[in-house]
Structure 1
Amino acid sequence: MPNLPSYPQSPQSTGDRFRNQDPMRPAPATDRNVMWDLLFDKPKNTVPAAPIPVRRLTRDELDAAPDRSLYRLGHSTLLLKLRGHWWITDPVFAQRASPVQWMGPRRFHAPPIALRDLPPIRGVLLSHDHYDHLDRAAVRALARAGARFYMPLGVGARLAAWGVPASLIEQFDWWQGAEIDGLRITATPAQHFSGRSLADRNRTLWCSWVVEDGDVRLFFSGDSGYFSGFRAIGERFGPFDVTCIETGAYNRDWPGVHMQPEETVQAHQDLRGRWLLPIHNGTFDLAMHAWHEPFERIAALARTHRIALATPLFGERVQLDAPHPGTAWWRAVSEADAAMSPMLQAPR
């Protein structure tokens, strides 16, 4: 484990660890019970039995893409073209969201484009250091290509330990930001936790991000439970053209750090968002719900609340200043799952 510094000057610091601004809601179950369920009591439908559709991307296509293009590559990894440069959020290209690549949650689908085929990346926005958001191999590869990394306090020590030059690392506390090539980025609050082992919980900070490209504003949630910070962010920076908010890997047993879809909708409304693009779903098996459930629940809620919902295929382009709804692509996969289920359960 790297030597993680303390940040006593941060309002989020408790000495050598960080804290959330809102009190955490108590969980019905203990960490031990949750881990037991995840390891030994998983339903079969948390992983798709049929292939997830992916629209393959080529370097030529990306080179020709217009500004303000967004591509969802998987989980919370978004590829953005802004002011002639490419940006990426929480880049995870690993086969597993795990400390090791021989066990742990395995990808449902390959990324639409390989890490080695990405165009030159100007900036990488990191939300926190969990394995499904911070991929060591991807970070090192992007650093070798000259990408700059922007992250919450403490995460820079991890990157430095992996060999990323200090000149490529910039850290922020909540509400701090920078202007790069006319693009404004701001690290904003989230309600979550951090750590990559049992010994370093909350030694690094977590955040969401606001990206301002002239008159277009994008919100990227990272991971968060529902909290009062969404309204504060909306008051400071809203309205947002697109909010990319976690909608997946939720459970009643961790209400303080991940949102149910109903809370995702409330967060979107607090942020004064126009289009909602749900993320943190469709790539890894990280909870007890059916893999397609987050899409169905958020689609139903969007209809009820008259929210413009974008559900692009992985690899499908979304124009940030003129989004489109996409399709309910997950239904064909879940129907195929249901058709295959009797065959999978039949005795041999």
Structure 2
Amino acid sequence: MAARKRTANRYYSGPPSDHFDGGLFFNPGGKPPGRFGDLLRWQFSGKRAKWPAAWPSPHPPAKPDRRLDGGALRLTMAGHASLLIQTAGLNILTDPVWSERASPFAFAGPRRVNAPGIAFADLPPIDLVLVSHNHYDHLDLATLKRLKQSHDPLVITPLGNDAVIGRAVPGMRLGAHDWGDRVDIGAAAIHVEPAHHWSARGGRDRRMALWAGFVIEAVGSKIYFAGDTGFHDGINYRLMAQKHGGFRLAILPIGAYEPRWFMAPQHQNPQEAVQGMKLCNAAFAAGCHWGTFHLTDEPIDEPAQKLADALAAEDLPRERFRAMRPGEVWDIPAIYKGTQTRQTR
């Protein structure tokens, strides 16, 4: 029998591994994204809830301090999966999207229903950007160009995404890394960790770039940004607890989960996010990936409602897991007496 021809990868070339077959990346023991027929079945189901054209945040736009030194940890929500993390003198952005649409087009595609919770001009000096994967609601080249011009940050991203960014933003400082890699930045370290997801910028580059979550290790505590992920039986959450011991803060997706028959492998729901918080041993969690771009079928406010229900069902205080809204600022306590979370020393 003739050997299967490997897919030519336009973004990355490297040796096979437990999540790369020499042509495409995959989720070990997991599920690939749905096929085109499944996408059409979903799109024409007629079950998508109607969102308002505008859903302003109850929080005013934040104006962050320039720096937070020492062990202080402050989280500010810009919108969707874009958050500002300030700790140990570092300013870190996750999946920054300041564009009007999460789309390859300026005239079509999901349009934000609330303004960014931080005006771009009010951003503090940005040292580091974490880009989890290349879907348009996470990798926004227009925003990265603006960041390059105004801040010249280092961008850390999984394998292959550097090709996408580098072609569009010449001179951007880039580090492309595999799962399990560690990047030291001053007194802090960034760990690139597995997520259960997929990647594509168009119809012919599926899974040619890797997807990931990140762990930030700085000044005695750890912060887990899970990126975009399906629950995957909690496998990656258990791995994080085993590897890192526990987290002061986990930033976890809680939206874009309906219909479950199509979305479950790639997008966890609020109940799964609560289980993930428990499994990875996080003292606090911030819910993201909801309430800004209309991507899937659930109503706009359902993720926050279901998160509250899931916390109540587990007898967990609501202040431990917030569904963050744009402009919301959260100073994360150093310790929470109701958990057994171990912090690094």
Interval of TM-score (by shorter of Structure 1 and Structure 2):
0.7 to 0.9
1:50–1:199 CA distance, 2 compared to 1 (3 A): closer
For the pair 1:133 / 2:141, whether they are aligned, the reply is: no
| Structure 2 match to 1:214 | 219
Q: Counterparts of 1:1-348 in structure 2 under 5 Å?
A: 3-24=10-31, 30-37=38-45, 42-44=48-50, 46-47=51-52, 50-58=55-63, 61-63=64-66, 67-144=72-149, 145-165=151-171, 168-227=173-232, 228-251=235-258, 252=260, 253-307=262-316, 308-322=320-334
- 1:23-62 Cα distance to aligned partner (Å, 9 max, x none): 218979812212334xx65322x3366533232123xx42
2:207 is aligned with what amino acid? N
CA–CA separation in structure 2 for the residues paired with 1:141 and 1:64: 20
CA distance in 1: counterparts of 2:159 and 2:111, whole angstroms: 29
TM-score w.r.t. length of structure 1: 0.85
Instruction: Quote the Cα distance in structure 2 between the aligned partners of 1:306 and 1:164.
Output: 50
SS in 2 for 1:318: strand
Instruction: Say whether the 8 Å CA contact 2:95–2:138 is kept in structure 1.
Output: yes
Contact (CA 8 Å) 1:194, 1:206: kept in 2 or not? yes
Displacement of 1:160 in angstroms is 0.9
CA 1:323–1:80: 2 relative to 1, 3 Å: farther
Could you say if the C-alpha distance between residues 26 and 178 of structure 1 is closer, same or farther in structure 2, counting changes exceeding 3 Å?
closer
Q: Contact (CA 8 Å) 2:246, 2:281: kept in 1 or not?
A: yes
Asked if structure 2 preserves the Cα contact closer than 8 Å seen for 1:6 and 1:17, the reply is no
Taking structure 2 as the reference length, what is the TM-score of the superposition?
A: 0.85
Secondary structure in 1 matching 2:252? strand
String of CA shifts for 1:75-113, please: whole Å, max 9, x gaps. Answer: 011101122121100000111111112111111111122
Q: How far off its partner does 1:238 sit?
A: 2.8
State whether residues 237 and 279 of structure 2, in contact with CA within 8 Å, keep that contact through their aligned partners in structure 1. yes
Q: Tell me, yes or no, if the aligned pair for 1:192 and 1:225 is still in contact at 8 Å.
A: yes
The answer as to whether partners of 2:68 and 2:89 remain within 8 angstroms in 1 is no
Partner SS for 2:42: helix
SS at match of 1:63: coil
Distance (whole Å) between structure 1 residues aligned to residue 10 and residue 31 of structure 2:
27
CA contact (8 A) 1:278 1:311 kept: yes
Q: Report the CA distance between 1:148 and its aligned residue.
A: 0.6
Q: Distance in 2 between matches of 1:249 and 1:313?
A: 15
How many equivalent pairs are there?
317
Measured on the aligned residues, the alpha-carbon RMSD in Å equals 2.3
- The answer for unaligned runs of 5 or more in structure 2 is 1-8, 337-345
Structure 1's 78 and 49: CA in aligned 2 closer, same or farther, altered over 3 A?
closer
Identity among equivalent pairs (%): 30
Q: CA deviation at 1:119?
A: 1.6
- 1:27 and 1:111 mapped to 2: Cα distance? 31
Report the CA distance shift for 1:165/1:25 in structure 2 as closer, same or farther (over 3 A): closer
For 2:141 and 2:34, the matched residues in 1 are separated by 31
CA apart distance, 1:116: 3.3
Decide whether the 8 Å contact of 1:69 with 1:318 is kept in 2. yes
Displacement of 1:323 in angstroms is 8.6
Alignment-mate amino acid for residue 157 of structure 1: A
Unaligned runs of at least 5 residues, structure 1: 325-348
